[in-house]
Structure 1
Amino acid sequence: MNSLAGVIPPLGKVTALKYLCVTENFLSGSIPPSIGNVSSLHSIFLGQNKFTGLIPESLSHIPKLMELDLSVNSLSGHVPLSLYSMPSLKYLNLGSNGLVGQIPSYIGHSLPNLQFLIVQSNILAGLIPTSLGNASNLQVLDLSNNSMHGPIPSLGSLSNLRQVLLGMNQLEAHDWAFLSSLTNCTQLTKLSLEGNMLKGSIPRSAFNLSTSLKLLALGSNQISGTIPVGIRNLVNLTFLSMENNLISGSIPPTIGNLHKLFILNLSKNKLSGQIPSSIGNITQLGELSLDDNLLNGNIPSSLGLCLELLQLNLSFNSLYGFLSEELFAGPPHFLGVDLSHNNLTGVIPEDIGQLGNVVLLNVSNNLFYGGIPGVLGGCFALSSLRMEGNKLQGQIPASFHALLSIQYINLSRNDLSGNVPKLFENLAMLEKLDLSYNNFEGPIPTGGCFQNSTVVFLDGNKGLCSRSSTLALPLCDGTPDINHHVPLLLIVIPWVTIASLLLLIWFVITLWKKRVFEFPQWDNILSMFPFFAHPKRREVQTFPRNKETLKKVSYGDILKATNCFSSVHTISSTRSGSVYVGRFKYDKSLVAIKVFNLNEPGAYESYFIECEVLRSTRHRNLMRPVTLCSTLDTDNHEFKALIFKFMVNGSLERWLHCEYYSAMPERVLSLGQRICIAADVASALDYVHNQLTPPLVHCDLKPSNILLDHDMTARLGDFGSAKFLFPDLIVPKSLIEVGGTIGYMAPEYGMGCEISTGGDVYSFGVLLLEMLLGKQPTDEMFVDGLSLHKFANSMFPDRVAEILDPHMVHEEHQLCAEVRMHSYIIPLVALGLSCSMESPKDRPGMQDVCAKLCAIKEAYLESRG
């Protein structure tokens, strides 16, 4: 994308152009017919612009045209029939326009080399041509979101077929023969038929489809019958949706054989019986939607084994019984839980408070008895809490103060009692609080959200009163009338003002006499006045850097911010310590709190080296603590912690290898993002190597130690193993003393060589190759002497495209592959190879590496606008 605008000029005099690539711009007007005169063209990519008008018929005059992409524009009218008669065409993408008409019946014969036919999201009508069964090279057929009707033809003769996407049309299936024919397509990975007019029962033979099938979407049809037990054969399915149909019967226990499922959606059907406990065998399940059915029985506790579950919706069924504690005993990954409109009984299990990342919790309209568990306060990331319309009793627990991100609380229509807690005043993100129709009594708080009558609802609590007139409640007995105190204030305020001025004058004179030029700490100012003295408490040891003053944080503050170091708040744990996420009561921003395990060897050294880095450095790409805490805990044991700004996008490792963490492959980095991140890390290393005296070596550079801020700016962190290169630095006697991680550690360290900046350069080279190839240096493929460096070098430069991270390649548009390869990817791989050379003398310095990366970054950003 170059932010190009305007129209494409005539190209009549261009004679040697092979690739025309202007995707993702703002070009408008009509596509000039003169493009058809450029007979040398092989590829035309005009997608994602603002072109209007008709597709020029002259495009079919280009004799060797293999790729044509006009997608995501505002083209209209009919597709010229001559475009369907170009034997050289392999890739045709006309999707997301306003095209009308029909696909000609002879297309399977006239486009014998066609591999990709993508015309989704248009207004095409008519039948799907049966001749497509003769397009033997066809790999992707996408006709979704049109007005196609009639039966789906047999496609079983297409042995190369990988994707069939026919959803959101008006297609029918009289005998489902087309589905049975697809069992011959052994490479089929995606089959999408949702939003059509498919009726009747799915034949058992349909579940003999290729075991390579990963996506099966049959939702929003009129499918009836039952789910066959043969569904167990589709062992590689990751996505199965059959929602909004007329499917009846029970969920077969064999569904537990689909161990790779991430999304299972059977909602809005007529399913009955119990939820099979075998679903707990699908341990990678991320979303389970069974709402709007006729299911009954208990919720199986085996669902607690689905440790990756993000969304759970069992609402609008006839489920009954108690909620099992095992159901919520797993890691706190939930984003949404909806158990509403069932017949569940008993108390809400305390383990539900472990749902640290829940953004929606809805258990309304059931029959829960008992109070709200205090452990709910552990849900620090909870943004919406709905428990209205139950029979909850007791008081609101004090642990609600830990709901730091809460925006919406609805506890209305229960039997809650006691006072309205003042803790609601401190929930800075709270936008709506509904406590109406309970049995609360006494005065309500006056601060925070209670100052705005439009966000607090307290109707139906007869015992409540107010000390102010902000909310429409009766005034509490004994509420002071501020008017009675006005005369007293008129007397006191002048004397207090005069006394304050005299004290200030005396204070300035004292400082002048002592020649104190730096402004002292506020605590020191107060200590000069005995009447302001307060009992000394355990506070942070802070130290200035460049005349900065760090915030003071006590052990108690950290204890409250982490909910007593709850596992819900834990980001990561290692032998040397743990990192927690939390928020201090005086600050709205989330922080990461690194607590050192001082019982482990080397923990003290790690703490002090990070403090020294804090004192000595300042760079936009370095993680620097905002403050620290060095004190005693409640058992008088030494306690040391560093507090950092929370990096909302996590570590680079979680982006490069997301399949190990969230099973959500859509969370990937584009080539441009990888270039920018690599340049950020190189800049940080250049700074610590060449701009500090003495130089600083990180010693443990790897993706998990690179954090990404909200704008994807990379920051190098975890300097616990770092070493300043003092002249008298002792050569480490073992790899343990060096620190570092296998795979990223420079090979010379294993031979007893001294620590040097070249070791960081080696680690950076490995990191850069990992970012491009998507493979860790410890991948199981690297055996018998093969390493990431040797693997990349063996394919360099001619076959580099074969080994790139497939997510990065797919995310970038294939149209400019040649330019992208030679201008950016090959230079990046070459740089990674030079940095990861076995001999330190063969590696460049970080100053040169940083300069090359910055040049690549600037060229890339300039080309993308």
Structure 2
Amino acid sequence: MLKSNETDQLALLEFKAKVTHDPLEVLSSWNYSRHFCQWKGVACSRRHKRVTGLRLPSLLLQGSLSPHIGNLRFLRVLDLKNNSFRNEIPQAIGYLFRLQKLMLYNNSFGGQIPDNISHCVNLESLGLGVNELVGKVPGKLGSLSKLRILTVHLNYLSGEIPSSFGNLSSLEFLSAAANQSVGQIPETLGELKRMRQILLGINKLSGEIPFSIYNLSSLNCFEFVVNQRQGSLPSDLGFTLPNLERLNVGENQFTGPIPASISNASNLMRLAIEKNGFSGKLPSLQNLHKLQWVNIFQNHLRNGEKDDLELVESLVNASRLELLDIGDNNFGGMLPEAVGNFSTRLRRLSVENNQLFGNIPSGLRNLANLELLYLGDNQFTGRIPGSIGDLQKLQTLRLEGNKFLGEIPSSIGNLTSLTTLNFEENMLEGSIPSSLGKCQNLISLNLSNNNLSGTIPTEVIGLSSLSIYLDLSQNHLNGPLPSNFGILKNLGFLDISENKLSGEIPSSIGSCIMLEQLIMNGNFFQGNIPSSFSSLRGIENRDLSRNNFSGRIPKCFENFPFLQNLNLSFNHFEGEVPIKGVFSNSSAISLDGNDNLCGGISELHLSTCSIKESKQSRSRSLKLIIPVVIGILLVTGMSCLIITSWRSKSKREPATPPSALLASVLRVSYENLFKATDGFSLENLIGAGSFGSVYKGVLNHDDHETLVAVKVLNLQHRGASKSFMAECQALRSIRHRNLVKIITSCAGVDFQGNDFEALVYEFMVNGSLEEWLHPNPEAPRNLNLLQRLNIAFDVASALDYLHHYCETPVVHCDLKPSNVLLDGELTAHVGDFGLAKFLPEATNNLSSNQSSSIGVKGTVGYAAPEYGMGSEVSTSGDVYSFGILLLEMFTGKMPTNEMFTGNLTLHNFVKEALPERLAETVDPVLLVEREEGETSNANAHKQLTRSFSVKECLVSVLEIGVTCSSELPRERMSMEDVAAQLVSFRNKLVKNVRGQPATYVTA
């Protein structure tokens, strides 16, 4: 028979055995070398050395909770909060009758709440919130007479709130928010005289709130936000709840007036009654000096009278006020100057969608900490004051839908924290201030429907931060589009319609690869559609109507998978209309006003392309071909002279080394590279592989210093020289923003006369993707969801280019995280083309033996399975590698992880888990938020399970990875489709996450 303390030790070891992931190695001390009372997180009684506490919160632990936990019979505290434990809570918890605190919130526990927790009769605190629990809340919990804190919020619990909760005479805090609870709130809750906080928001509770709850004099927090509440608030609310600090009944169906007695709730800090049907006059808030938050948005308060904003003046004494939102009501009158006397703590001020008029109060400049200012959809007049530039912490400024006059003040450029600016639908005139270019954090800009004139400043188009929205439509802007449009590579919406813009579309617009909406109608643009438009594969809506475009409709338009609307009407397009893609749906395209079009689907009723059309096409072709042929003959003649001269010269001079094909301007020697890398010192060594080493260096050229990465080939290794040649061949032929940029190469001898070969690349300051996915514990860093999605799209774009847009298709053959490099903006660049191969069927005078075929085509874990069986390289092999890379990026697990043995692979692991077990598949780093300088899982699980867009994005991306890494090549996607889908996911994620309203705030 085991001794009692041996039982505890074995129970702890069983607990450890169920922990499958311990990245911080907190359980490494749990071994026989020391007494279990000295193990990390374990507390014992002094006399008998029995385990009384197990505290392991916020340690990124994964696994399940062992039933052996029930053997720790002296346990008083079990704290596992903020980890990733999954599966069911074991019934054995019920054996812990001495347990006082059970803290399991913010994990991934599933199943039902064990009803035998009711056997833990000494329980004072029960925390089960933020998990994946289902079913009903057990009524037996009502027998825990000592329970003071009960939290089951943010689960999937259903059913009614048990009336037995009225027996919890010691209960002070109840949170069952954000579940699927139904029915009415039981009257018995009104009997809990010690109750201080009740949080039942975001459920499906209906009916009226029991009046007995309004008599809980100790209540200081009262939250029923986002339910289906009806009725009105009691008139004596302010008297019966004298300790009330938070009243949050937003997003219900309350009607009637706000009780005048609220003026007596002197302890009130937060008043949130938004999105209801409250009407009448708002009571005076003059005596509520502790107010921090006043949100009465979207009700029916007041009737547009001149004295409606007395409430603003009544808040001057609220020295802690941080938020005031009275938007979307019926308030009238002028915004009083007293607004300038508000607390300097005020961060958010919204009066939008009312009936306010007059000028912006000059005192507004005093609100130095203001971050959000909404004045839109009123009747404000006058000029936008230059003092608006004093609000330097402002992040969102919305003045749309008013009658503002004059020019946009140049001081707007002082708002360097600004992310959203909306001046839509006013009467502003003059030019767009170039000072807007200083707002380097701006992601959304809307200046549409004004009287602005002049050209579009290049400084504004140079805002690479613009990623959501740019709308300059319906003004009087003129001149050509700035040539630097390509900087807006993350922009999702562009509308420059109904202006007087002219000239040709700059080809750089093809770099705006995130575009979903492109609206350019009603201008004077001319010329052909630039071929770079073929890169805009995420486009859903494109309107180029009422311009002077000419030439043929680009055939690439029919290959855009997401294009739903295409308007090319009233231009000068000619020739044959394509019939595939969007052109196969007559209701999705508009071609009116282009008299020289023919062909297309029958529903368009266009004339058949005649023989004359074909002859005209041939005539046009001849006009192009003849000068080309003449040019070729001239070049051939010159070549003959050059070759004759070269043959005679070659007898005296050595042949040019192959690497000279790459060195266009900058020529370097071994000595140059030796100095640049400080003698190839270990301090500058940043990577090493089988074919060579990579050094960081500073190369001097024309009095300029360039930071470079120097790849020195190990020529003693078999195949290294061939790898050098393969990389030279590949990199001289390809150019793409997501491929490494080669600066030059060097082939010569070192100081000892040994052969020396090296490639010099642009240096990537953020290293490789591998260093970010699997960082050194001593220098932790991570990538968030959006950054990973951007990188995935960058890599997909590079492969799409290599496979489909190179003159000779290129297969990389060794895609893996260490070969994906990140620049200062975390833009990904695919590198290391030492195994690259040109496809034989399109070699263009490059025979297949010029490309590398060294050993296994790729790296174990990333190489396609068919390569191991002797198959030739193909683009589908790269797709497989990309699929594995994508799974590794979002799961944090290498394909060679020791957990993958037998038939279990990274591909199968993810495939079997989706979509139900997403939380246990995704990289735990993505479930951790940093909040106020502390690492915590708090709210991360809520984001994953409650935000439809984020969860859908993760599932969709992982499904792409699973499909791409299918064992059979024919089941894999093309990189063209992968890139298009990723850009769509990315744009939708940015829109949904940034636009998510924060309507619910927990205590």
| 2:533 partner SS | helix
Match of 1:115 among 245, 253, 256: 245
Q: Which amino acid is the alignment partner of residue 457 of structure 2? A: S
Q: Does 1:559 align with 2:559?
A: no
Are residues 176 and 460 of structure 1, via their aligned partners in 2, closer, same or farther at CA, if it must alter by over 3 Å?
Answer: closer
* Stretch moving more, 27-36 or 277-286: 27-36
Aligned counterpart, 1:131: 261
Alpha-carbon offset, residue 17 of structure 1: 3.2
- What is the letter of the counterpart of residue 765 of structure 2? T
Letter in 2 for 1:63: K
For 1:352, the equivalent position in structure 2 comes to: 485
Alpha-carbon distance in structure 2 between the residues aligned to 1:104 and 1:71: 19
Note the C-alpha offset of 1:433. 2.7
Aligned residue for 2:365, secondary structure, equals helix
Aligned twin of 1:440: 573
Q: Which amino acid aligns with 1:185?
A: A
After the TM superposition, which of the residue ranges 365-374 and 236-245 deviates more from structure 2? 365-374
Q: Structure 2 residue aligned with 1:390, among 507, 523, 528?
A: 523
Asked if the contact 2:134/2:158 (under 8 Å) is kept, the reply is no
AA paired with 2:527?
G
1:363 — aligned with what? 496
Q: Deviations over 1:417-440 (max 9, x none)?
A: 122233334444433332222111
Alignment of 1:146-161 (within 5 A): 146-161=276-291
- What secondary structure sits across from 2:222 in the alignment? strand
- Give the TM-score of the pair, scaled to structure 2: 0.53
Aligned to 2:610: 477
Aligned AA (1:143): I
d(CA) in 1 for partners of 2:359, 2:233: 35
CA distance in 2: counterparts of 1:428 and 1:687, whole angstroms: 36
TM-superposition CA deviations, 1:581-614 (whole Å, max 9, x none): 52525579999984699xxxxx999999999999
CA offset at residue 473 of structure 1?
2.8
Q: 1:686-739 deviations in whole A, cap 9, x for unaligned?
A: 948999xxxxxxxxxxxxxxxxxx9789999xxxxxxxxxxxxxxxxxxxxxxx
- Is 1:241–2:374 an aligned residue pair? yes
2:544/2:569 contact within 8 Å kept: yes
Give me the whole-angstrom Cα distance separating, in 2, the residues matched to 1:277 and 1:479.
58
Equivalent residue number for residue 399 of structure 2? 266
Question: What is the match of residue 177 of structure 1?
Answer: 310
Query: Could you tell me how far apart the structure 2 residues matched to 1:398 and 1:383 are?
Result: 18
The letter of the residue matching 2:390 is: N
Shift of 1:561: 6.7
Q: 1:465 to 1:563 in 2, by over 3 A?
A: farther
Q: 1:261 to 1:470 in 2, by over 3 A?
A: same
Inter-partner Cα distance in structure 1 for 2:600 and 2:940: 62
- Is the partner of 1:184 in helix, strand or coil? coil
Q: Does the 8 A contact of 1:209 with 1:234 survive in 2? A: yes
Q: Distance in 1 between matches of 2:158 and 2:766?
A: 59
1:40 maps to what in 2? 170
Of 205, 208, 211, the residue aligned with 1:75 is: 205
Tell me which moved more, 326-335 or 235-244: 326-335
Which range moves more in the overlay, 581-590 or 150-159? 581-590
Contact 1:228 1:252 in 2 (8 A): no
- Contact 1:649 1:712 (C-alpha < 8 Å) held by counterparts: no
Q: Secondary structure at the match of 2:428?
A: strand
- CA separation in 1, counterparts of 2:232 and 2:856? 68
CA distance in 2 between counterparts of 1:389 and 1:381 reads 23
Decide whether aligned partners of structure 1 residues 480 and 354 sit closer, same or farther in structure 2, where only a CA change above 3 A counts.
closer
Q: Does the residue aligned with 1:375 lie in a helix, a strand or coil? A: helix
Asked if the contact 2:512–2:536 (Cα under 8 Å) also holds between the matched residues in 1, the reply is yes
Deviation at 1:325, TM superposition (A): 1.8
Q: CA-to-partner distance for each residue in 1:250-304, whole Å, 9 max, x for gaps?
A: 1111111111222111111111111111111111211111111111111111112
Find out whether 1:309 has 2:439 as its counterpart: no
Aligned to 1:400: 533
How has the CA–CA distance of structure 1 residues 109 and 613 changed in structure 2, closer, same or farther, with 3 Å as cutoff? farther
Out of 196, 204, 217, the position equivalent to 2:350 is 217
Sort the Cα spacing of 1:311 and 1:772 in 2 relative to 1 into closer, same or farther, 3 A. Answer: closer
Asked whether the 8 Å contact 1:417–1:438 carries over to 2, the reply is: yes
**1:319-339 residue CA offsets vs partner (Å, 9 max, x unmatched):** 122222222122253321111
Kept in 2, the 8 Å contact 1:161–1:187? The answer is yes
Q: Is the 8 A contact 2:929 2:936 kept in 1?
A: no
Q: Distance in 2 between matches of 1:689 and 1:52?
A: 43
Deviation at 1:51, TM superposition (A): 3.9
What is the aligned partner in structure 2 of residue 413 from structure 1?
Answer: 546
Contact 2:229 2:253 in 1 (8 A): yes
Give the distance between the partners of 2:729 and 2:603, measured in 1 at CA.
35
Is 1:340 paired with 2:473?
yes
Task: Supply the RMSD in Å over aligned alpha carbons.
Answer: 4.8
Q: 1:9 to 1:263 in 2, by over 3 A?
A: same
The one-letter code matched in structure 1 to 2:208 is H
Distance 2:507 2:417 in 1: 30
Other structure's SS at 1:559 match: coil
TM-score for both structures, normalised by structure 1: 0.60
- Distance change (3 Å), C-alpha of 1:450 and 1:690: closer
Whether the aligned pair in 2 keeps the contact of 1:99 and 1:122 (CA below 8 Å) is yes
Matches for 1:310-709 after TM superposition, within 5 Å? 310-445=443-578, 449-450=582-583, 453-466=586-599, 472-478=605-611, 554-555=730-731, 558-560=734-736, 562=738, 573-574=764-765, 582-583=797-798, 584-585=800-801, 586=803, 594=820, 617-618=860-861, 681=892, 684=894, 687=897
User: Which residue of structure 1 aligns with residue 999 of structure 2?
Assistant: none
Aligned AA (2:861): R
**Distance in 1 separating the partners of 2:520 and 2:174:** 56
Provide, for residues 770-807 of structure 1, a one-character-per-residue CA deviation record: whole Å limited to 9, x for no partner. Answer: 957657xxxxxxxxxxxxxxxxxxxxxxxxxxx74589
Q: Is the 8 Å Cα contact of residues 105 and 130 (structure 1) preserved in structure 2?
A: yes
Amino acid at match of 2:311: F
Q: 1:243 to 1:647 in 2, by over 3 A?
A: farther
For 2:295, which of 165, 169, 181 is the aligned residue? 165
Does the alignment pair 1:99 with 2:229? Answer: yes
Distance 1:270 1:645, change over 3 A: farther
Q: Is the 8 A contact 1:378 1:563 kept in 2?
A: no
1:56, CA displacement in angstroms?
2.6
SS in 1 for 2:405: strand
- For the 8 Å contact 2:246–2:271, the answer to whether it is kept is yes
CA distance in 1, matches of 2:830, 2:300: 69
Deviation at 1:94, TM superposition (A): 1.7
Cα displacement (A) at 1:377: 1.2
Report the CA distance shift for 1:558/1:82 in structure 2 as closer, same or farther (over 3 A): farther
Partner secondary structure for residue 212 of structure 1? coil
Write the mapping of 1:185-200 to structure 2, written as runs, cut at 5 A. 185-200=318-333
- Per-residue CA shift, 1:663-703, capped at 9, x if unaligned? xxxxxxxxxxxxxx8xx55x659948999xxxxxxxxxxxx
Q: Residues 818-864 of structure 1: CA distance to partner in whole angstroms, max 9, x if unpaired?
A: xxxxxxxxxxxxxxxxxxxxxxxxxxxxxxxxxxxxxxxxxxxxxxx
Distance in 2, Cα, partners of 1:40 & 1:805: 33
CA 1:558–1:711: 2 relative to 1, 3 Å: farther
Seen in structure 2, the aligned counterparts of structure 1 residues 404 and 100 have a Cα distance that, compared at 3 Å, is closer
Q: Does 1:296 align with 2:429?
A: yes
% identity of equivalent residues: 34
Letter in 2 for 1:295: L
Q: Distance in 2 between matches of 1:419 and 1:466?
A: 12
How many angstroms does 1:119 deviate by? 1.0
Question: Residues 53 and 75 of structure 1 are in contact (CA less than 8 Å); yes or no, is this contact kept in structure 2?
Answer: yes
Distance 1:575 1:46 in 2: 44
CA distance in 1, matches of 2:446, 2:607: 42
